[in-house]
Amino acid sequence: MGEQNQTSAHQDAYAEEFPKIRDCPALYQFLLNKSLFIPLRPKEAPLYSKSSSPTERDNVYKYDHIDQRFVDERVAQFRDQTRRFLAGELTEDEFRPLRLQNGLYIQKYAPMLRVAIPYGLLSTTQLRKLAHIGRKYDRGYGHFTTRQNIQFNWPRLEDVPDILAELASVEMHAIQTSGNCVRNITSDHFAGVAGDELVDPRPYAELFRQWSTFHPEFAYLPRKFKIAVSGSPNDRAATLVHDIGVHAVRNADGDVGFRVLLGGGMGRTPIIGHVIRDFLPRQEVLNYFDAILRIYNRFGRRDNIYKARIKILVKEMTLPVFAGHVEAEWERLRGGAGTVPDEEIERLASFFEPPPYEKLSGDDAGFRSAVADNRAFGNWVKRNVFPHKVPGYAVVTLSLKKTGVPPGDATSDQMDAVADLADAYSFGELRVSHEQNLIFTDVRQKELLALWSELKALGFATPNIGLLTDIICCPGGDFCSLANAKSIPIAEAIQRRFDDLDYLHDIGELDLNISGCMNACGHHHVGNIGVLGVDKNGEEWYQVSIGGDQGEAASLGKVIGPSFAAQEMPDVVSRLIDVYVEKRHEDERFVDTVRRLGLEPFKERVYASAH
């Protein structure tokens, strides 16, 4: 009888927010039996927790007791679900949605665990834990992804609960890194240090993380849902190719709010996002998100996986019609429980206070002298070092694109070494970019030469950021069961062809992105040169597009023609580059030349040479 009363109270608590649960006790009991409900926040706690505040200067959000309880209980829950599956008490169909919402895929050769790195921000304690997991439970490495996550490709299924417990010990998890739910929130990897920043997006990214994690109304959407946030006019978060993108803006009165973008995405049907609202008051952002997802949940298709994304719904309904539904729903929610008070933003912002910078006069004389005297160091500074808003400091990108190494991969030993370097040079913090590189955000200029020397020894100092060999690449057919073709060997072949740094620097800025299938995990649609693996009569071929771009002027590439065999790909890229070098105007990027000339000159050269 006591258990019955507890269940009833649990159901009543959910019913306060979601009345349909009260009306359908059979549905509630089914979900409860399948362990799809998670423990509720204590009734006194709001949607986002107000009970914690920074206790030490880690420059990352620190879990409070509610966060930690959620993660610990999810670990215990999944441990039992895994035990039941291995014992034959759950079928594969019953276990699949449970493992997916904990980031666990079954790939071509082994399980794959995707671990969330919220908005790409890591402490060195967390990175060392990832290194340990790779060493103990995997094959001694991890793969950083275009969603600012990390994947382990070889864990044993029976070890996954232990991995999740280890992650929980450093305030990490794999929750909602898969499944039809709101995925990891992504953001600008230069957040908080960029000179062009209107506001630091990290407090808002953390707000969105707390809102979306375990949100019971949006735990079973028609399809996966991705959100990116930018605090700068220069979009380094690829917001235009997300389901929701938010840009910080100011209105005529100087108030901070958001421009909201909707319905972007890649995959089988690539679409650039649309502006659904030019200015949204920042305190209303969660109410507006609720409105968008409720309309999507209500009208989104669940009968066809290829038509289930919100971008398809917006296209079919038209943006004005969809926006009308959202605005009407928002009017009902506006000023309600999801309204975010200024005090909450201030509390979250307190976790991201600037580190104790030295007061430096500006450019360090020794640094400038080293750049002038050491050509190799100067090349690295030119490509991998970026301006910092604080005088005397710099932002450093560690290239995970050394020729011969799969893009985005780092060994456990390398991760441990990077953690040591971040402690020594960057206040114990680092970032993951959606370009699959790592970033130290707070390096003194006077220490750049010493850092460069250590990164060279580690293999992370290739001076190619933003250049052709800084390739974005999914794991492809070497690992993924969905892939039509391998991606990694194509990336390596292209990198080897363009391994001459002088020629690479002469070519200039060029994004080359590779995906092994139409899911576009390698972002090929927005590559200046995009490569897509396709199946052609059981053989691996590659379709090439040009003219794509990310950022605030995002565009989708156009396919140049029939696909190519794997061994042809380095020659194809070489011919595309030859046309660009011959016909470019001074200081004109590859993508700008394509936009000016169109596809024809490139097609003619590539296909004339191929026959």
- Per-position DSSP letters for 212-276, written without gaps between them: HTT-GGGSS-SS-B-EEEESSSS--S-GGGSSEEEEEEE-TT--EEEEEEES-B-TTS-B--EEE
Distance CA 398, CA 407 (A): 12
Share of residues in the chain with pLDDT > 90 (%): 89
Residue 135: the pLDDT is: 98
Is 90 exceeded by the pLDDT of residue 361?
Answer: no
Alpha helices (H) in 87-150, listed in sequence order: 92-100, 124-137
pLDDT, tens digit, for every residue of 541-553? 999 999 999 999 9
* Average pLDDT for the chain: 92
279 falls in which pLDDT band (50, 70, 90)? very high
Pairing of the two strands 558-559 and 539-546: antiparallel
Residue 610: the pLDDT is: 59
Determine the average pLDDT of the residues in 564-579.
98
Q: Which residue has tokens 């400091």?
A: 393
φ and ψ of 370, to 5 deg: -65, -40
Distance CA 115, CA 130 (A): 9
Is 90 exceeded by the pLDDT of residue 530?
Answer: yes
Superfamily of domain 472-610: Sulfite Reductase Hemoprotein, domain 1 (3.30.413.10)
Which two tokens mark 199?
Answer: 């506001």
pLDDT, tens digit, for every residue of 370-401? 999 999 999 999 999 999 999 999 999 999 99
385 three-state secondary structure:
strand
Is 50 exceeded by the pLDDT of residue 14?
Answer: no
Quick one: angle between helices 310-317 and 285-299, nearest 10?
Answer: 80
Q: Are 92 and 162 in contact (CB under 8 A)?
A: no
pLDDT, tens digit, for every residue of 214-255? 999 999 999 999 999 999 999 999 999 999 999 999 999 999
Range(s) of the chain covered by CATH 3.90.480.20:
365-458
Which two tokens mark 467?
Answer: 């250049």
Is 70 exceeded by the pLDDT of residue 4?
Answer: no
More confident residue, 9 or 424: 424
Is 80 exceeded by the pLDDT of residue 86?
Answer: yes
Residue 59: the pLDDT is: 76
Q: Are 221 and 180 in contact (CB under 8 A)?
A: yes
Q: Which residue has tokens 């030469």?
A: 449
Residues listed for the chain: 611
What's the order of all strands across the beta sheet hosting 186-187? 186-187, 227-230, 244-250, 256-262, 274-281
Is 90 exceeded by the pLDDT of residue 362?
Answer: no
Is 60 exceeded by the pLDDT of residue 17?
Answer: no
pTM reported for the whole predicted model: 0.91
DSSP H or E run through 591: helix 590-597
CA angle 499, 500, 502 (to 5 degrees): 140
In angstroms, what CA-CA distances link 324 with 247, 318, 331, 491? 21, 10, 11, 44
Considering the segment(s) 365-458 as one domain, its CATH architecture is: Alpha-Beta Complex (3.90)
Is 90 exceeded by the pLDDT of residue 604?
Answer: yes
pLDDT, tens digit, for every residue of 29-78? 444 443 343 333 333 344 444 444 443 445 789 999 999 999 999 999 99
Range(s) of the chain covered by CATH 3.30.70:
34-168
3-state helix, strand, coil in the chain (%, to 5): 45, 15, 40
pLDDT, tens digit, for every residue of 99-143? 999 999 999 899 999 999 999 999 999 999 999 999 999 999 999
Residue 50: the pLDDT is: 43
Q: Please tell me the CATH code under which domain 34-168 is placed.
A: 3.30.70
Bridge partner list, 238: none
Lowest average pLDDT, out of 6-10, 162-166, 217-221, goes to 6-10
Domain covering 186-349 assigned CATH 3.40.120.10 in the classification = no
Residue 336 neighbours by CB distance under 10 Å: 11
Which two tokens mark 402?
Answer: 């050394």
Q: Are 452 and 380 in contact (CB under 8 A)?
A: yes
More confident residue, 182 or 21: 182
Range(s) of the chain covered by CATH 3.30.413.10:
186-349, 472-610
pLDDT, tens digit, for every residue of 482-502? 999 999 999 999 999 999 999
Share of residues in the chain with pLDDT > 70 (%): 90
Helices (H) and strands (E) in the chain, counts: 21, 21
142 three-state secondary structure:
strand
The sign of the torsion formed by the CA atoms of 442, 448, 454, 456 equals: positive
Query: Which residues, at least 6 apart from 447, have a Cβ–Cβ distance to it below 8 Å?
Result: 425
